[in-house]
Structure 1
């Protein structure tokens, strides 16, 4: 995220369009800022709320003469606006508020009992399923969306800085945000137009993308995927709204009365509908909540207008502001439909008012609703991912006819600005550096080649010592129908070169028929997962660990060749069929042996395994969204489940293969958003191997001797401590996102996040498999007398980037080398 923010600091544009602008601070008679005060242009429904410091900014395309400021417990104050632009106003509210007409105002911390605002809220809960498109059997509508990124808080010092020398032309026109009042420069704009169909009786929905238009860094797949994940759809009537992988309590939630204060503040006609105005603000700081207000109809209890603003104290990183507006239109006397949705996020390295950052803005407009138009069930089947269609950008005539909201002057200028910037050498250099840091690859355009990954150039392990690696891949564009990737590595202790090469070819876009294959000859730390990998370029962090616990010397020489065919006949349902040939031997035979009994060997013992396997795999990922339609796609969300089923058949004597055996494996991973209690990640794995096989073909319970927290492993197990041919394991990890720490006075301002983990595994190893592996120099045992289990307590978001886990071993402590306790950690830029 930090890299992305640094990447955006390169450019900027300005034009005053609004007719009325106001900004300032609201304080009480003692000079203390009044947070969450209501600011409104008198006689309108256009308003905002002061932030935690009492500061406000608001503008309108209309001309108003009076600003009204109010808050519970204070007298309402009307301020005459003698000019169109009134900045740095200082509004002092006197205590002793008056009762508004037709509503009752409650003072101080709002009671949950006898509060008319909460009575209205309960009626909203009762009616929410009968409002919107859910009121009808079927529906379809047009959907237009534009996503924009802007650099903000531009001042003269930034304009004159060295980084923008030669790029001064981008500052010729700067605009001001109507939400924050900050100057900004648009640098990225993406438009889409689609048709949405739904059937409430069958629970089906389909979106057909009809056109796209990109500016800015449109060929940067990482940025585009980030934007798509950032602005996922949400429904304000849901109990929780997911933004930045976190669940915020909706002000319309049934649990809202536990985290929000509600005040019935006003009532008025809006579009000929009598509505109540309710102000809400959080009861406690540091929780994932909003402040704002909404207008609700007095008969249908449907929302007419709502705005939501995340409080600065909310436990979220790199985001200073989140502001949301939604407007609904009245279709008839009983149904309100979403008409316009606007969301603004202010990304910044810190939350200081003067800090520079990047705006991310999404505007979605809905129109041409049609209801109860039946579609055959086949219409919704085989739902193609909207980003797989490969639709080319539409021309200006298409957008003239389908753009549901006109671009303003600054948005229109983005296309021209970026075309110009692409010709400026300095801008291209800045872009290239940021792109390298973000993707890990150095682009060589004239060769259609990327060099990298730069983050895997250096490594270390006990077999190779210091290790260097250089790699490259073909890259003609983000939607390449084929891609070849290769690397070479060298170990300075074993004085050996290693290599890997793979190729993927997309033969059919509709079914995503892909043929792939490759070869890898390298040193690897096997046993980091229960499912064996056939990725010829993959490499675990444990294979190049600079710091490890105990003797990290159980490394394996691997020579792996693979061939595979895969297809995706239904969205997110992937079938794979292939074969692999691998040779395994110990990289440090004195410390770690893969020896097994072999009657055909002159000595009766073999130290190297050669095996051909035939494998079929089914992977189902419901809810997964991807971007791109080439041979490689990028995921744009992580809140989907994964079901994995694999059958492996070992074929003896084919290509000199050593063993006949069969293996069945199943895993199910599911993330759970548990309302305001954060996110639970769960994984269940089951497996069985049929036949007598050596250690290299058994299922090693994944230990972890590194200092890194690796989900799916057992951090208090050494590598190969438990080996099985039959197993069942479960992993649970709950991230409370600071819900507990936010209630502890001393540490609540630190925005720490608490994580707890629980994991266990049962496994068995047959007498036959123990016998065949008797020559190995490591003890073979399985957790069959009782389930092995561990638990952990973690603290995340330390300095916004560090997580530390304290791991405890639950049993099997008899071994003198058993590790009852360990500390692991990880780094990352997370929201």
Structure 2
């Protein structure tokens, strides 16, 4: 859903006051486009390569009079430039009739052996950990970052469209991209200045944000988190570069020789250093690869500059173009440091050349390096708050002194433009629509209140029938030290009102000590998770699914009250202690019973469970990144592991609690990037309950009777099909991101993505617990003899938003109502 936001609101690209602009198309003698041709201003190293359609566009701050065009197997062309702007060129390449003795020409797929370019590449591999910042024990530097968004392909039709009626003034200042040649309209700008400190010996890094400024969206956490995740840091020397949740093979990767063709194209002095120029382009279509070239020094084998352009056929959605430039500065004879990093993304619904879209651009400049100045470990623990008002409200004099790259006239105008737009009712309506889609809440600024979530208004299950829900939360800003939230719902089938409310207070920012509590009275499907819910506002997808496989009638009435205390003494290590009191009963007792033997009951059987628990939780999420410093923070990445450890002590007789028991649970979730073969997500869960407890307090193996693919559930199990007091489960799901389908010519162009999954569980249920839950009207089975397992094969990215999984049950096929095969799906807008 967040991907759509870009097409509604944003765009970005810096323009420059260029002296020379060139653009056009390169074709062969038959008129076919020549992709990956080298385009260079003569007597310079300013250049680019043509895209898949043979097109190019380039600008320079210097005046040039000659353009050089070259490509393997063709004769090089020198094109005189008689004007400063020449943007409709058509250049015809002739096949090479002869080749010079000293030049080796490669046509099509280049040789992996006897190739001087690959010999140089191997030396880059050997030296890459001895270059740049890795050469020093400690380092520090200044970092200035600009992130911009622009609407692109602005033409008269767009200006006159109903969307911009009343907003025509925004088109007064338009410019042209120096990379694509398209007219664009800047509408968003964010600036950040920080100091970065690092210690290669202890592998510690600290970034202190000293100033942050943007053009009006500083209070929208969803948009800011999306931008932060969109432009995460990368290192071209790594084997794989992550953009938009996809891993692209780096041209400097050790696996690059199997992914790219390399050609030693040229050599020249750059900043008094002799450098080689290597052109690279992909060996196959539809893989996550780049095309471009780089200059590398002949002694240190450090990269001097590099450009990377994602190929048009790459299996990525909503992104028509990605272009990256990195420039490295020569500090002395052997030290090459990253000086400037520029990344342009062209977001669009279509990859057609004429399609409109949104530019997103990040420019990062580095300067004022200082080396081998040691700091104590405590220094790295103390970090500034990037959302501190003192950081956000820096005066203009601060930015004049600390901008490592000055703003041009268009960028300076963005702040003024956004201030004006925010006063225009039509723009405010557009902004509110984007905010609702991104956060799921309707903002009522004058009340400091959000209404929602809008996506949970309607639901259905067999106990409640049609269900309507309305909720609200307080929201003053992303750094709110407290938050109140609540909802009310009504079921037209059972004619009952449900509700939930919660309160959270951030008592201490340094340790992130949070006190929270609340109450919920609702209908819930508890058979979708191994961990008992303590979220007073949570609700599983199975509780409201309109369509299900079989009868979704094993639902529970829950009245839950909680009080919790949580702190984060170390970054990403959360420790929580709390208590809860639950009252559980069947929502449909005629078909699903939670009865248990109770000698104190007049009938010897009780149908309601009252339980008081004391719970201790430890959650460790190494590598997780968040924004905000309030009581609620938003995650901005998903490539971190999660370790969860819980100890629950059930106490009898407190508040008429029914049972004494102890429960320990552990889970470990880890995403793995398997080189260029996609992403593997793995989860291991273990748990054991000590003491005699009835069905409502045991662990139901998570089934799934919905038509949605839900990770960490068993798609071919019914709810409560397996009940355990001791369990161990494993879930593995691998998304190849189209790696396999890209090798099949017939379906290659569809950009489908293949997903496979395997999952299994073993568990036991003691005889004592079986006897205690004897009155229930469902079979009490555990997969104790042989672990239950199933597997799935899925196809994703169907029509760019749909995923379908085909699920197969591996065993226990003779169980009552066993489902040997099923189809589930999910949808969403993913890159």
Under a length normalisation based on structure 1, what TM-score does the superposition of the two structures give?
0.98
Cα distance in 2 for partners of 1:428, 1:187 equals: 14
Q: Secondary structure at the match of 1:110?
A: coil
1:653-692 to 2 correspondences below 5 Å: 653-692=653-692
1:559–1:388 Cα change, 3 Å: farther
Q: 2:807 is matched with which residue?
A: 807
Equivalent residue runs for 1:511-526 within 5 Å: 511-526=511-526
Corresponding residue of 2:394:
394
| Structure 2 residue 618 is matched with structure 1 residue 618 | yes
Matched with 1:528 is 528
| Number of residues of Structure 1 aligned to a counterpart in Structure 2 | 830
Q: Identify the residue that residue 54 of structure 2 maps to in structure 1.
A: 54
Residue 5 of structure 1 deviates from its aligned partner by: 2.8
CA contact (8 A) 2:110 2:261 kept: yes
1:97 & 1:147 partners in 2: Cα distance?
47
Deviation at 1:388, TM superposition (A): 8.0
**Which residue of structure 2 aligns with residue 366 of structure 1?**
366
Asked if the contact 2:291–2:311 (Cα under 8 Å) also holds between the matched residues in 1, the reply is yes
Deviation at 1:103, TM superposition (A): 5.1
Query: 1:506 corresponds to which residue?
Result: 506
Aligned counterparts, 1:570-719, within 5 A: 570-719=570-719
Q: Which residue of 1 aligns with 2:452?
A: 452
C-alpha distance in 1, partners of 2:799/2:57? 30
Residues 65-124 of structure 1 deviation map (CA, whole Å, 9 limit, x = unaligned): 000000000000000011000011000011016657975332332111111101100111
Partner of 1:84: 84
Distance 2:244 2:14 in 1: 29
Instruction: Indicate if the aligned counterparts of 1:15 and 1:173 stay in contact, CA closer than 8 A.
Output: no
Contact kept? 1:508, 1:514, Cα under 8 Å: yes
> Structure 1 residues 580 and 389, CA, compared in 2 at 3 Å: closer, same or farther?
farther
Q: Which ranges of structure 1 fall in alignment gaps of 5 or more residues?
A: none
Determine the structure 1 residue equivalent to 2:318: 318
SS of the aligned residue for 1:727 comes to strand
Map Cα deviations across residues 452-471 of structure 1 (whole Å, 9 max, x no partner). Answer: 11111111000011110111
Hey, what's the Cα distance between the residues in 2 that align with 1:100 and 1:797? 48
Instruction: Tell whether 2:795 aligns with 1:795.
Output: yes
Contact 2:12/2:359 (<8 A) preserved: no
Corresponding residue number in structure 1 for 2:131: 131
Q: Is the 8 A contact 1:146 1:192 kept in 2?
A: yes
Q: For residues 69 and 306 of structure 1, what CA distance do their matches in structure 2 show? A: 18
**What stretches of structure 1 move > 4 A for 4+ residues in a row?**
11-16, 97-103, 382-390
Deviation at 1:815, TM superposition (A): 1.5
Which whole-Å CA distance do the structure 1 matches of 2:3 and 2:279 have between them? 34
Q: Is the 8 A contact 1:12 1:170 kept in 2?
A: no
Q: Distance in 2 between matches of 1:649 and 1:528?
A: 22
Question: What CA distance in whole angstroms lies between the structure 2 residues aligned with 1:332 and 1:562?
Answer: 62
Q: CA offsets, 1:533-561, max 9 Å, x none? A: 21111100100111100111000000000
Q: Map 1:766-781; keep pairs closer than 5 Å.
A: 766-781=766-781
Q: 1:97 to 1:509 in 2, by over 3 A?
A: farther
Q: Is the 8 A contact 1:388 1:628 kept in 2?
A: no
C-alpha distance in 2 between matches for 1:389 and 1:701? 48
Match of 2:170 in 1: 170
CA distance in 1, matches of 2:676, 2:501: 46
* In 1: Cα distance, 2:556 partner to 2:239 partner: 50
Contact 1:14-1:174 at 8 Å conserved across structures: no
Question: CA 1:357 to 1:119, structure 2 compared with 1: closer, same or farther past 3 Å?
Answer: same
TM-score (normalised: structure 2): 0.98
Q: What is the DSSP-based 3-state SS (H/G/I as helix, E as strand, rest coil) of the residue aligned with 1:126?
A: helix
Contact 2:14 2:411 in 1 (8 A): no
Aligned to 2:23: 23
Deviates more, 1:382-391 or 1:78-87: 382-391
Distance (Å, rounded) in 2 between the aligned partners of 1:722 and 1:391: 54
Q: Helix, strand or coil: the match of 2:477?
A: coil
Counterpart of 1:195 in 2: which secondary structure?
A: strand
User: Could you say which residue in structure 2 is the equivalent of 1:5?
Assistant: 6
Distance change (3 Å), C-alpha of 1:383 and 1:416: closer
Give the deviation of 1:15 after TM superposition.
7.8
SS in 2 for 1:338: strand
Q: Separation in 1 of the partners of 2:542 and 2:781?
A: 22
Unaligned runs of 5+ in 2: none
**Partner-residue secondary structure (3-state), 2:527:** coil
SS at match of 2:392: coil
1:739-789 Cα shifts (integer Å, max 9, x gaps): 000000100000000000010111111111111000111110111001111
Identify if the C-alpha distance between structure 1 residues 810 and 662 changes in structure 2 by more than 3 Å, giving closer, same or farther: same
Pairwise CA RMSD of aligned residues?
A: 1.5
* Structure 1 residues 207 and 55: alpha-carbon distance in aligned structure 2, compared to 1, 3 A threshold: same
In the TM superposition, what is the alpha-carbon distance from 1:524 to its structure 2 partner? 0.4
Cα–Cα, structure 1 residues 56 and 279, in superposed 2: closer, same or farther, change >3 Å? Answer: same
Q: CA deviation at 1:187?
A: 1.0
Matched, 1:121 2:121: yes
Cα distance change, pair 598–562 in 1 and its aligned pair in 2 (3 A): same
Secondary structure of 1:18's counterpart equals coil
Cα distance, 1:13 vs. partner?
Answer: 11
Match of 1:111 in 2: 111
Distance in 2 (alpha carbons) for counterparts of 1:83 and 1:428: 44
CA contact (8 A) 1:289 1:310 kept: yes
Q: Deviations over 1:574-596 (max 9, x none)?
A: 11111000100000001100000
